[in-house]
Amino acid sequence: MHYFYLLLAIIGEVIAINALKASEEFTKPIPTIIVVVGYCCTFYFLTLALRVIPVGIAYAIWAGIGIIIVTLGAYYLFDQSLDMPAIVGISLIILGVVVIQLFSSTVGE
């Protein structure tokens, strides 16, 4: 269940960060409201996940998966593309999250 809470935190953060871009420096009210609500939900669900998942592991998963989804969202929503070094870097982040999940004994249950 705690990983489900972490997933909800990631989804909230992805929604909030894309709304932050769409808010155009908080000049558009609807995206600005989505940013505030999204981050409130994000931190609420993150606190629930941290009851069991160690903070370092939770943050690594949250950041890694969040980067991937935000990058895809930026590509499709805002027409922002990546160069090869950025793609390699994101691939290394994915690999890091996989290594943590498969081999770390600090991953909470």
Summarize the confidence of residues 4-21 as an average pLDDT.
Answer: 95
Q: Using an 8 Å Cβ cutoff, are 90 and 71 in contact?
A: yes
Threshold 0.75, pTM exceeds? yes
| Residue 17 in domain | yes
Domain, as residue range, for 51: 2-103
Count of structural domains within the chain:
1
**One-letter amino acid for residue 87 of the chain:** I
How far lies 30's CA from each of 16, 22, 27, 57, in Å? 12, 9, 9, 33
The answer for residues whose C-beta is within 8 angstroms of residue 31's C-beta and 6 or more apart is: 19, 20, 22, 23, 24
Summarize the confidence of residues 40-49 as an average pLDDT.
Answer: 96
pLDDT higher at 90 or 7: 7
Burial class (CB in 10 A: 0-12, 13-18, 19+), 29: exposed
Task: Give the single-character DSSP code of 54.
Answer: -
Confidence of residue 60 (pLDDT cuts 50, 70, 90): confident
Question: What tokens appear for 37 in the block?
Answer: 């609500």
| Residue 108 in domain | no
